[in-house]
Amino acid sequence: MSAIKEGIILNEDKTLSFGNYEVTEKIKVTDFNVDGNIYKIRTHNEVTRLSKNGNLLLETVPGATIHNLSIKEKEANFSIEGLGDTLITLELEPNTNYSLFINDVNIDKIKTNLSGKINFSTTLSKEPQEIKIEKHI
């Protein structure tokens, strides 16, 4: 896999891929429209930030490349690559319990805060890690 030179793309399967941790100059896309939702991406080696309709959806510090982001009612999935220890913030349903899986290993149970955000860290490399966040029913 590789960095997204355009900043953000819509894949054939309707998932989003975005981010470029390899560049030092910021890449910005401010009006990426998918099914009436407006996405904004800002990415470089220090941070990757994706907003949807003005609200933070996903952020990594330092920057990363996310492939095939899919957020559905019961789970979120994406693969991620980057360099070193990375903090990931993702907005889901507020005040809800989830299980975090990295490369099919159940890492932890996490609960979103009142604004629906979760934070977790992982060590990234150029080899993508598969992330799955599954809602407890």
CA-CA-CA-CA torsion for 88, 89, 90, 96, nearest 10 degrees?
A: 110
- pLDDT at residue 37, as a whole number: 97
Average model confidence (pLDDT) for the chain?
Answer: 96
**Spans of all domains in the chain:** 8-135
- pLDDT at residue 114, as a whole number: 96
Laid out side by side, the sheet with 48-52 consists of 27-34, 37-43, 48-52, 55-61, 84-91, 117-124
Interval 26-68: pLDDT, tens: 999 999 999 999 999 999 999 999 999 999 999 999 999 999 9
Q: What percent of the chain has pLDDT over 90?
A: 97
- Report d(CA 46, CA 62) in Å as an integer: 4
CATH topology of domain 8-135: Chondroitinase Ac; Chain A, domain 3 (2.60.220)
pLDDT-derived band of residue 137, with 50, 70 and 90 as boundaries?
confident
pLDDT-derived band of residue 1, with 50, 70 and 90 as boundaries?
low
